[in-house]
A and B are shown apart, each in its own frame.
Chain A
Amino acid sequence: MQHARAAARRKPFPWHVVVFLAPAVLIYTAVMIYPLAETLRLSFFDRTDEGARFWVGLVNFERLFLDPHWADQFWNALANNFYFFVVHMAVQNPIGVLLAALLSMTHLPGRTFYRTAIFVPAMLSVVIIGFAWKLILSPIWGVSETLLGLVGLDFLFGPWLGKEGSALTTLALISVWQYVGIPMMLIYAALLAIPEDISEAADLDGVRGMALFFKVKLPLIWPTIGIISILTFIGNFNAFDLIYAVQGALAGPNFSTDILGTFLYRTFFGHQLELGDPHMGATIATAMFLIILVGVMAYLWGVQRRMRRYQF
């Protein structure tokens, strides 16, 4: 006892650890943990017409998922969001892989130019991208009908952003066009990390060209593709800006481009005649958080754990 107390006295509380951790903890709490906790908390409340806040438990979620007024919009936005994600997975990432594979060819002239040119849109503001594409695709003064006409394909043209059937796909493809440089860069880096002598060994084995890519290189970049997929998932389920910039908060035509982000925005801040409802907004935000959380966890446990990072 005596000794223990003596030891305790000799070893004072490590205040320096607290001091060094404090800035990070405080900032992270202020900008991440507190807002998140507050959002979760808000989703369990509602308010009277006079503005008094009261506890409602899970009623908000019940309304969101089941009450036709909310549920129609929610399920529509969720389905659109999935579609948005699927287009990215099916178009953006394969094209990213393809471009990276082309860029990593040693004999390609002008590699640096292509690499930069393809990456530039990812650095531009979404508002500019949205506005530019809106002009390009406009049936009235847009340039796309003329361009299609030059190759005799103008019969294909339509007011893609204005039709319910094609608006979401068009927006998803614009987003793909903007961000395809990011998976391209990540995969390009992963391809460069594969040592040259593995390709040479494959060459000696008669595995070259397409076979080299599919049998040797692709398996070695799966872990990178996995990371890109999960980043795409998170990015898409948090998306909002492009839709808002091109179609406005109502995500027209007729909500056909409404995704969770725009739905949340309308609900939280209100739009036109509708007043904002922070509690339902918080409920939607919580639902988005849970969807992303579940997706990421499923990925980490189901996919990433089985994937190996290769050491060369």
Chain B
Amino acid sequence: MAELRIADVEKSFGKVEVLKGVDLAIQDGEFIVLLGPSGCGKSTLLRIIAGLEDQTSGTISIGGTTVDHLPPARRGIAMVFQSYALYPHLDVAGNWALGLKQAGETKEVIEERTKEAARILELGPLLQRRPSELSGGQRQRVAIGRAIVRHPGVFLFDEPLSNLDAALRAQVRFEIGRLHKQLGATMVYVTHDQVEAMTLADRIVVMHQGVVQQVGSPADLYRTPANLFVAGFIGSPRMNFLKGTARQPGSLELDHGASLPLAELRQPAGEVVLGVRPDGFAVGDGATAPVRGKVVLNEYLGRESYLHLELEAGGRVVVEVAPDNPVRLDEIVGLELKPRAAHLFDAASEQRLAA
């Protein structure tokens, strides 16, 4: 049992407020990803959970007990660092055993846990090697093993893949996912890579400037982003944003004159921002469509192409099209909205408008 409760945690370094009241309830066995741009306070939150940093206010409880006064080793957590942070002078088995020895575990227990971790991570033949004799991916697995042998209730990962190359990253990511299913432990995983977040998470916590923007499953965040920040952050290429005014239901007046029929708009809403993902547009006739633009760039990616359009009335959008689409550069094309592709946000508050 290791549910994790973060209650109203704030953190300042001197005058700089880094976390501005974070509130989260994480269930036992859940895989939570903290996602956000660099500097938003993800690592700081993780380090507060671990006990490496003290919060300015608020409480952390793990498995029902408040842990604010406990040293890291007694919180029932284990952490994997981005830099691995292995003990350079100890071999793999020694790296794993140090904490257990310190906790006074018997030889048998240590041996058994080492065997278990070696089996899970397939590191058996490497137990006598030192970190300097291992590849980057192996070192990261050793670091994960050091967490496993502690049998923690909560695993904390701080960007564990960012020092690995692309191929290894996919592999270790897959292994972490498998590990989560196998161990069933609670995991909190920090990253700024949305692919990692989307593929691993049960729920994603999107953070920005020390504030939680939205908590939800990957599909929730993708389909119904709660505000402009989340809408722009999740999804690649980014969602397109068009400013406009909603004076009457069913139609949106874009800032540059055109009027876009919009079934989702059921009541007048004033100044709004329309968000449309690149695959939410259909390329239509350049003569009749309400929104038209000139093709300035055609990115061919094999399975799809992305057209970058300079809209006639100003602004740029990116549109996904089939790779065999016959559009040419400088051609004027029309855009139509696909059904259910529109996301509407209030221009002032940046919050999503209920459809």
A199: nearest residue on chain B (CB-CB)? Answer: B85
Closest 6 CB pairs of A and B: A205-B99, A206-B73, A310-B88, A201-B85, A197-B85, A219-B89
- The answer, among B52, B103, B130, for a CB contact under 8 Å with A203, is B52
14 new A-B contacts at CB < 8 Å, known A204-B50, A216-B87, A311-B88? A195-B83, A197-B81, A198-B88, A200-B85, A201-B86, A203-B71, A204-B77, A204-B99, A205-B102, A206-B72, A215-B98, A219-B89, A220-B89, A308-B130
Contacts of A220 in B (CB 8 A): 88-89
Contacts of B79 in A (CB 8 A): 201, 204
User: In this assembly, does B12 line the interface, its C-beta being within 8 Å of a C-beta of chain A?
Assistant: no
Contacts of B88 in A (CB 8 A): 198, 220, 310-312
We find that the number of chain B residues with CB closer than 8 angstroms to chain A is 24
A221–B69 Cα distance when bound, in Å, is 32
Least CB distance, B159 to chain A, in whole angstroms:
12
Q: When A206-B102, A211-B102, A311-B132 are in contact, do A197 and B89 touch as well, CB less than 8 Å?
A: no
Are A310 and B132 in touch, CB under 8 angstroms? yes
**Can you give 18 contacting A-B residue pairs, CB < 8 Å?**
A197-B81, A197-B83, A198-B87, A200-B85, A201-B79, A201-B85, A202-B98, A204-B99, A205-B102, A205-B150, A206-B71, A206-B73, A206-B74, A207-B99, A207-B102, A211-B102, A308-B89, A310-B89
User: In this assembly, does B234 line the interface, its C-beta being within 8 Å of a C-beta of chain A?
Assistant: no
Contacts of A205 in B (CB 8 A): 73, 98-99, 102, 146, 150
User: In this assembly, does B265 line the interface, its C-beta being within 8 Å of a C-beta of chain A?
Assistant: no
A211–B103 Cα distance when bound, in Å, is 12
A101–B60 Cα distance when bound, in Å, is 33
Contacts of A204 in B (CB 8 A): 50, 52, 72-73, 77-79, 99
- Mark each residue of chain B from 61 to 87: 1 if its CB lies under 8 Å from any CB of chain A, else 0: 000000000011110011101010111
Max chain A Cβ within 10 angstroms of own Cβ: one of B71, B72, B130, B150: B72
Contacts of B102 in A (CB 8 A): 205-207, 211, 215
B90: nearest residue on chain A (CB-CB)? Answer: A219
A235–B52 Cα distance when bound, in Å, is 43
Q: Interface residues, chain A, CB within 8 Å of chain B?
A: 195, 197-198, 200-208, 211, 215-216, 219-220, 308, 310-312
Contacts of B81 in A (CB 8 A): 197, 200-201
Contacts of B98 in A (CB 8 A): 202, 205, 207, 215-216
Contacts of B78 in A (CB 8 A): 204
Which residues of chain B in 200-256 are interfacial with respect to chain A, using CB atoms and an 8 Å cutoff? none
Are B87 and A208 in touch, CB under 8 angstroms? no
B87: nearest residue on chain A (CB-CB)? Answer: A216
A198–B88 Cα distance when bound, in Å, is 9
A204: nearest residue on chain B (CB-CB)? Answer: B72
Least CB distance, B101 to chain A, in whole angstroms:
9
A109–B328 Cα distance when bound, in Å, is 69
Contacts of A311 in B (CB 8 A): 88, 132
A206–B79 Cα distance when bound, in Å, is 12
Contacts of B150 in A (CB 8 A): 205
A220–B103 Cα distance when bound, in Å, is 22
Least CB distance, B124 to chain A, in whole angstroms:
22
Contacts of B146 in A (CB 8 A): 201, 205
- The answer, among A203, A216, A312, for a CB contact under 8 Å with B73, is A203
Max chain A Cβ within 10 angstroms of own Cβ: one of B102, B130, B150: B102
Contacts of A216 in B (CB 8 A): 87, 89, 98
A80–B78 Cα distance when bound, in Å, is 54
Are B73 and A195 in touch, CB under 8 angstroms? no
A176–B329 Cα distance when bound, in Å, is 80
Contacts of A310 in B (CB 8 A): 88-89, 132
Contacts of A206 in B (CB 8 A): 71-74, 99, 102-103
A312–B131 Cα distance when bound, in Å, is 10
- The answer, among B52, B89, B132, for a CB contact under 8 Å with A200, is B52
B149: nearest residue on chain A (CB-CB)? Answer: A205
Which residues of chain B in 80-123 are interfacial with respect to chain A, using CB atoms and an 8 Å cutoff? 81, 83, 85-89, 98-99, 102-103
Max chain B Cβ within 10 angstroms of own Cβ: one of A197, A198, A201: A201
Are B72 and A203 in touch, CB under 8 angstroms? yes
A203: nearest residue on chain B (CB-CB)? Answer: B72
Max chain B Cβ within 10 angstroms of own Cβ: one of A202, A205, A206, A311: A205
A70–B146 Cα distance when bound, in Å, is 63
Least CB distance, B298 to chain A, in whole angstroms:
45
A286–B218 Cα distance when bound, in Å, is 78
Contacts of B85 in A (CB 8 A): 195, 197-198, 200-201
B97: nearest residue on chain A (CB-CB)? Answer: A205
A212: nearest residue on chain B (CB-CB)? Answer: B102
- Mark each residue of chain B from 332 to 343: 1 if its CB lies under 8 Å from any CB of chain A, else 0: 000000000000
A220: nearest residue on chain B (CB-CB)? Answer: B89
Contacts of B50 in A (CB 8 A): 204
Least CB distance, B98 to chain A, in whole angstroms:
6
A311–B150 Cα distance when bound, in Å, is 26
Least CB distance, A306 to chain B, in whole angstroms:
13
A216–B85 Cα distance when bound, in Å, is 12
- Mark each residue of chain B from 46 to 57: 1 if its CB lies under 8 Å from any CB of chain A, else 0: 000010100000
Contacts of A197 in B (CB 8 A): 81, 83, 85
A309–B73 Cα distance when bound, in Å, is 29
Contacts of B130 in A (CB 8 A): 308
A208–B86 Cα distance when bound, in Å, is 16
A215: nearest residue on chain B (CB-CB)? Answer: B98
Least CB distance, A1 to chain B, in whole angstroms:
51
